[in-house]
Amino acid sequence: REAVIDGEIVVLDAKGISRFALLQDALAEGAGNKLHFYAFDLLHLDGWDLRKAPLGRRKALLSQLLSGLGANSAIQFSDHVEGDGQALYAQASEMGLEGVVSKRATAIYQSGRTKTWTKIKALKNGDFIIAGYTTSDAAEGLAALGLGEFEDGELHYRGKVGTGFDAATAADLLARLEPLRAGASAPEGVPREIMREMNWVRPLLSAHIHYANRTTDNALRHAVFRGLRDVGLSTPVSAKRKRLIAEADLATIWVTNPTRRLFGKTGPTKLDIAVYYALVGDFMLPHILGRPVSLVRCPTGKPQDCFFQRHAFTGMPSSVATFETTNSEGETKSYLSVEDAKGYLALAQFGVVEFHTWGTHRTRLDRPDLIVFDLDPGEGISWREVVEAAVHIRAELEAMGLMPFAKTSGGKGIHITVPVTQKQNWKKLHQATSAISSALATSAPDIFTTTMGKDNRKRRIFIDYHRNARGHTSAAPYSLRARTNLPASTPVSWSDLESIDAPEDLNYSSLPGLLATSGDPWANMEDFARDLPVL
């Protein structure tokens, strides 16, 4: 058949979105196999001039003409949506597309720019910290939100947003923000006139924002509120959960310099950390009691002063146990172990922010009972891609007869932890996890690598199995991480993992409240210990 088709040549990125820069690269390299022609109009068909026919009819004929082409064809039909243009535009903005073209369905074909079609550039989108709010009598409550963005550990002002929420949403936002005023301070770069009108809040909530662009001082133009970035946990509360932190233990909490802020002038205080560990203790202690621990201490609150503490230290609380064993170099060293709630709570005074545990208990030091596969994303890998990779690895491990559990790392990665029977020593365990990691990487070689080094991780996820060696540790369940806003390394169910948009939303402020109405997805995980497969 003979046809004259109107369309556009594009090159798609890994997410199926056309990028002009990729088209330029492909044309420069002569990589014609990367080109796709998206057909959106039909001018002539088998000698018939269709330019006077309405667009709707021309598109229907074009769809029929191209219906036999496969998904991998270089020519693709550019489909459309009729009506509900606002919803389509919002989705285009959310996906990071260039924009939306709208055409009259009854229009004839005319070359050049006409009034029968229009192109609207999509808005940019992003998540921003809610740093404050304003109120007004005219709005009968909340008038606008003050937005911020972390840059090098400090919160910087990024302007206001006063549209996108109805009366009910505004009332709900105000109810959630008012309790956060205590102890709040203004971010960097706030204009003087804004400083006078804004009610500052602690930077604990994030809003999803659509905006046109940024000003020269980085403030958002034409910002629209699209919703709060919320997180939830759904593990049922266990009736068997033991209370490990007693009222008497809480009475022993004591810290000097309780108002000292960590990681920036809007960061949490030393007392916030002590209170966090007290509130999550019933969940965290079952996973660390009796295990060798290493600590990350940040006594000054400045990131550059944080350090890793593996061995006993001067002034250490007497309630923290110590034991001696040989390290990998054959040297006898003194190591730490948390044996009760009193020792656990006492560590806040010493600037302890992170807990890291061995995959074994002190009483059976050379018979490990946990293995960890740390999924560490390289450059260009999104959180959603890490989640999809973790789900893939879960299926692979289950096919090997193992029972994997998921935990956010507190950073950009995911820790997949597997309980195992205590039949191997550390050397054999490390060899076995090396073989398993290689098999996992082979199952999806375009996604995973087991080779260290940043150059090997670009657009790939590193499976780190080296935590399964004697003396090596991984972040303990529910441990905070020493970085902006203190995210927590949080055990989650597999269904919850897939619903999390940003793992940093599980942090020192949000997690205690979430745990108050949910259970521990890692409770009794030792019941699921399995023998390691021989590969």
pLDDT for 183? 86
Q: What are the extents of the domains in the chain?
A: 3-115, 124-228, 247-528
User: Is the model more confident about 88 or about 146?
Assistant: 146
pLDDT confidence tier of residue 359, bands split at 50, 70 and 90: very high
pLDDT confidence tier of residue 247, bands split at 50, 70 and 90: confident
User: What is the number of other CB atoms lying within 10 angstroms of the CB of residue 173?
Assistant: 20
pLDDT for 240? 67
Q: Report the share of the chain in percent with pLDDT over 90.
A: 73
Contacts of 197 (CB under 8 A, 6+ apart): 134
pLDDT for 176? 93
Which has the minimum average pLDDT: 5-9, 36-40, 163-167, 311-315? 311-315
pLDDT confidence tier of residue 318, bands split at 50, 70 and 90: confident
Q: Compute the average pLDDT of residues 333-343.
A: 91
pLDDT over 80 (residue 456): no
pLDDT over 80 (residue 329): no
pLDDT for 391? 97
pLDDT digits (tens, 9 = 90+) for 150-173: 998 899 999 999 999 999 999 999
Which has the minimum average pLDDT: 92-96, 120-124, 356-360? 92-96
pLDDT over 90 (residue 87): no
- The CATH superfamily assigned to 3-115 is DNA ligase/mRNA capping enzyme (3.30.470.30)
According to CATH, the topology of domain 124-228 is: OB fold (Dihydrolipoamide Acetyltransferase, E2P) (2.40.50)
> What is the pTM assigned to this prediction?
0.82
3-115 and 247-528: identical CATH topology: no
pLDDT confidence tier of residue 113, bands split at 50, 70 and 90: confident
Q: Compute the average pLDDT of residues 408-426.
A: 96
pLDDT confidence tier of residue 270, bands split at 50, 70 and 90: very high
Distance of CA 239 to the CA centre of its chain: 31
pLDDT for 239? 63
pLDDT confidence tier of residue 412, bands split at 50, 70 and 90: very high
pLDDT digits (tens, 9 = 90+) for 55-82: 999 999 999 999 988 888 999 999 999 9
| Lookup: tokens for 315 | 């002034």
pLDDT for 68? 85
Contact 219, 158 (CB under 8 A): yes
**How many Cα atoms within 13 Å fall on the side-chain side of residue 84?**
8
| Lookup: tokens for 506 | 């599980």
Q: Three-state SS string across 11-49, please?
A: CECCCCCECHHHHHHHHHHCCHHHCEEEEEEEEEECCEE
According to CATH, the topology of domain 247-528 is: DNA primase, PRIM domain (3.90.920)
pLDDT digits (tens, 9 = 90+) for 11-59: 988 778 888 888 988 898 887 788 999 999 999 999 999 999 999 999 9
pLDDT over 80 (residue 181): yes
Q: Report the share of the chain in percent with pLDDT over 70.
A: 100
Contact 480, 353 (CB under 8 A): yes
- The string of DSSP letters for 442-502 reads HHSTTTEE---SGGGTTTSEEEE-GGGSTT--EEPTT-B-SSTT-BB--EE-HHHHHH-S-
pLDDT over 80 (residue 238): no
| Lookup: tokens for 29 | 């390299």
| Lookup: tokens for 374 | 């740390």
Contact 147, 161 (CB under 8 A): yes
Contact 160, 146 (CB under 8 A): yes
Mean confidence (pLDDT) of the chain:
92
Q: Compute the average pLDDT of residues 192-219.
A: 93
